[in-house]
Amino acid sequence: MDRLAGQISASHGRLHAASEPFARHQIAVGDGHTLYVEECGNPRGRPVLVLHGGPGGGCSPFMRRFFDPAHFRVVLFDQRGCGRSTPTASVQANTTAHLIADIALIRAQLGIDRWLLFGGSWGATLALAYAQAHPDHVTGLVLRGVFLGMREELDWFYGGGAARFFPDLWARFQEPIPEAERHDMIAAYHTRLFDSDLGRQARFAQPWLMWENALAGLQSHPVSHAPADYARAFARLENHYFSHGCFLDEGQLLRDRPRIEHLPAIIVQGRYDMVCPPASAHRLAEGWDRAELRLVPASGHALSEPRITAELAAVMDSIRDEDRSRKSPA
């Protein structure tokens, strides 16, 4: 779950200056998929992997700006089926297990032993799943807008929970669906997003995306239309994953938390996040001694919310400063 980064009115003055990648890669991962991967910052810096939301959101240049380019070696990639990865909007051989294997392959090909994980929304889900599968290759986690891939979270967003706060937008989301099918909006949209008619897919991709987009920011000014290719990839991939319970056992990320409890984690969570309510972040952090939950006031879900942006930037700068202090002579 996530949205188009940077579309919410926000002050990004605390971010680092925009920079271009020092390397770009097209990595074939099998099953007909080729991933776009980029590296930014310092080639000899501390490695960080950025995991975008959605599923299907793709990376943006905005995501590079949370990291001091003199200190971090930042790796970003577009997950299967979205962004600059190909084939676009493909759900063939596209599961959480495939994405975890892709991350492992990227790490090996780039010659990185261990890296810090930075992910929000679905990116936080994937970060947790990867870390639990490969804890020896992770140095820590920085998470935002936690989504655990659980039924109750999907029921909140697609089963009428969030609709209690946004009845007008919920009505707009339901409008294209016959009343008899509205009891299961994920299934109803799935039928249409995977229709053989590409035009029909595109028509239903827009309201799927706009429902989430409209709720992502506390003070958002949501767009009413997104580029057709982006919307189709986002909607199809997100619906595909949600139709299959994110390809996780129910409660898996909480069940397997002991595998990563030795790792440090900082969780940045908007107090008024309507896409991924704070209850999930609280459940994840509770009892994890090395996890710090930072509930950000007057903030929603999106990466570009002003206080969320500032908090994440401060987190990454504090990690940089701690690294430097450890290296400095006593």
| Per-residue pLDDT reduced to its tens digit, 36-64 | 999 999 999 999 999 999 999 999 999 99
121 is catalytic: yes
Task: Render pLDDT for 68-77 as a digit per residue (tens, 0 to 9).
Answer: 999 999 999 9
The catalytically annotated residue of 33, 190, 301, 304 is: 301
Q: CATH 3.40.50.1820 region(s) of the chain?
A: 23-150+248-327
Angle value at C-alpha 128, between 29 and 260, nearest 5 degrees: 120
Task: Render pLDDT for 155-182 as a digit per residue (tens, 0 to 9).
Answer: 999 999 999 999 999 999 999 999 999 9
Q: Please name the residues in contact with 105: beta carbons below 8 A apart, sequence gap of 6 or more.
A: 27, 29
Tell me what percent of the residues of the chain surpass a pLDDT of 90.
90
Q: Are 69 and 19 in contact (CB under 8 A)?
A: yes
> What pLDDT was estimated at residue 11?
45
Q: Which residue has the tokens 């995991």?
A: 51
Integer Cα distance of 246 and 143 in angstroms: 18
| Coil, strand or helix at 95 | coil
Q: Are 105 and 97 in contact (CB under 8 A)?
A: no
CA 105 to chain centre: 20
Integer Cα distance of 252 and 135 in angstroms: 15
**What is the average per-residue pLDDT within 121-126?**
98
Q: Which residue has the tokens 């090909």?
A: 109
Does 199 have pLDDT greater than 90? yes
Global pTM value: 0.95
> What pLDDT was estimated at residue 221?
58
The catalytically annotated residue of 121, 220, 280, 299 is: 121
The catalytically annotated residue of 2, 68, 78, 273 is: 273
Whole-number average pLDDT of the chain: 94
23-150+248-327 belongs to which CATH class?
Answer: alpha beta
Integer Cα distance of 116 and 145 in angstroms: 17
317 is catalytic: no
DSSP secondary structure of 210-225: HHHHHHS-TT----S-
301 is catalytic: yes
Does 330 have pLDDT greater than 60? no
Task: Render pLDDT for 284-318 as a digit per residue (tens, 0 to 9).
Answer: 999 999 999 999 999 999 999 999 999 999 999 99
